[in-house]
Amino acid sequence: MQRSAPRLSRILACAAVPVMFVAAGCSSGSDSGDKGSGAPDKGASSSAAAPQPTQSTKKVEPAKFAKLPEICKSVSSKTVESLVPKVKNKNGTEATSSDAASRGGCSWNGLEDKGTKGSQYRWLDVSFYRYESDATLGSGQERATESYAKELAKVQATAGAKKLKTTQTTGVGEQADTVTYQLRKTDEDFQYASVVARAGNVVVLLSYNGAGYAGADTPSDKTISDGALKAAKEAIAAVEAANK
């Protein structure tokens, strides 16, 4: 049975609000050298003892990328419009970030009403995490690799996910995995694809999902995963372009 316009309006109203990125404290190690103090030999004339050498600072590999791209321009308007028909805001909705130099996100959503053929809903979002090199915490690349593993694990642990599959992906940064699954929401089956990718000291998390309403078919696994990969490649390329 075809659902009413108010029903479709509620679908868009239920779209997730932009993620708030709160910068994790990037502590920097402070090297405090041990200062030696020696007493003069008994019977010798008073003289200042030579100071002990200070502890050397651990050297780490410099971070590969110094900045992030313009977040909502990291995926082209052409790609956004092809992946999200009838997109509400083609410029995207940028997530609030307390440290825009280190993290940020942007999302797009839209509902295409096809009348008696039902409706198609799509959601696309991208998040960036950039890590500095730190003598205490490690190089930016090492820290990004650790973050990559954690973000992938989070996606793989999505509550309620069905038919979840993880595929190693080539051609997207230095390492990438694509996770596909189905999730039941608003009484409909949603098809999801999340791409977790890393380029140097930057981790990119891109998610794309969709559902059919009012009798329309759920988009296929291939349609959603292909779309996610296309957008993820553009996001990675945007990082590289921003640092040239």
Burial status of residue 77 (CB atoms within 10 A of its CB: 0-12, 13-18, 19 or more):
middle
Task: Beginning with the edge strand found earlier in the chain, give each strand of the sheet holding 119-130 in spatial order.
Answer: 93-94, 103-113, 119-130, 202-213, 188-199, 175-185, 162-168
Owning domain of residue 162:
5-14+66-242
* Residue 70: CATH number of its domain: 3.40.1000
Does a structural domain hold residue 48?
A: no
Domains of the chain: total: 1
pLDDT of residue 33: 42
Mean model confidence pLDDT for the chain: 85
Does a structural domain hold residue 100?
A: yes
Residues 164-208 pLDDT 10s: 999 999 999 999 999 999 999 988 999 999 999 999 999 999 999
- Is-contact 155 217, C-beta < 8 A? no
Question: Residue with structure tokens 């051609």?
Answer: 171
pTM recorded for the entire structure: 0.79
Predicted confidence band of residue 38 (pLDDT cuts 50, 70, 90): very low
- The residues near 49 (Cβ < 8 Å, ≥ 6 apart) are 36, 37, 38, 39, 40
